[in-house]
Chain A
């Protein structure tokens, strides 16, 4: 079946540190991959996406590359800010006949200290 596994949190970093949040997936075919972010008290917002192998999604300094050979979509940022503190969700949308259904990982909480 389809599933997403993320590294467990919480992740605590100092401001300007490098961020990596690991995400691996299991899926048939070629799913689309997403990172969503949830700030405290708010709904999920799309951070970036990639729809085919070797695509790189990027937004607000965050990047993730669709790696089919390792079934991974790790999130990275070169220099985090306090305002990046949030919960990050990796998700996939199966390729065929799934109606755009999103399958989420369990989320990784990021806390950035000044």
Chain B
């Protein structure tokens, strides 16, 4: 069974440029998460989707960040414009549903460097 797939693995951009990250969750997983992981820190939730609906985006900086999950499968996270402080690893995870006991499966992440 394929795991959570993210692309690209690495991205280097100049500040003020736009950037997008893509995630393909495990087949059949209804819940999808985007996390931000700063260097030396644990991941922090940015947004959670139940199927195609964003049900928790309280930590998403909506002035520059946006996300979508078309048809309740793949998801895209976008930053426009990027700032120096956005340099981090962006992780996507999926789970069968949103029950707290369910395991979240993580992708390898996209490492963003903003110059």
- Residues of A at the B interface (CB closer than 8 Å) are 4, 31-32, 36, 41-46, 49, 51, 89, 91, 93-95, 98-102, 104-107
Would you call A89 and B100 a contact (CB within 8 A)? no
Contact check, A99 vs B55: say whether CB atoms are below 8 A apart: yes
A104 with B43: CB separation less than 8 A: yes
Please name all residues of chain A whose beta carbon is closer than 8 Å to the beta carbon of B99 when the two chains form the complex: 100
A interface, over-half SS: loop
State A46–B104 Cα separation when bound (angstroms): 8
Q: Is the CB of A101 within 8 A of B101?
A: no
Query: Which residues of chain B are near A106, meaning CB under 8 Å?
Result: 40-42
Asked if residues A95 and B108 are in contact (CB atoms below 8 Å), the reply is no
Nearest chain-B residue to A42 (Cβ)?
B108
Name, among A36, A46, A101, A106, the residue most crowded by chain B CB atoms within 10 Å (CB to CB): A101
Q: Does B26 contact A (CB under 8 A)?
A: no
Mostly, the B contact residues are loop
Q: How far is the CA of A89 from the CA of B40 in the complex (A)?
A: 11
Across-interface contacts of B41 in A (CB, < 8 A): 106-107
Q: Give bound CA distance, A100 to B48, whole Å.
A: 9
**What are 10 of the A-B contact pairs (CB < 8 Å)?**
A43-B107, A46-B104, A51-B101, A89-B43, A99-B48, A99-B56, A101-B48, A102-B104, A105-B42, A106-B40
Taking CB atoms, residues of chain A closer than 8 Å to B3 are 43
| Cα–Cα, bound, A100→B96 (Å) | 10
B100 in contact with A32 (CB, 8 Å): yes
Contacts of B31 in A (CB 8 A): 99-100
A44: contacting residue among B43, B55, B95, B97, CB under 8 A: B43
Quick one: closest A residue to B97, CB to CB? A100
* A22, chain B: closest CB distance, angstroms: 15
CB-based contact B91/A31 at 8 Å: no
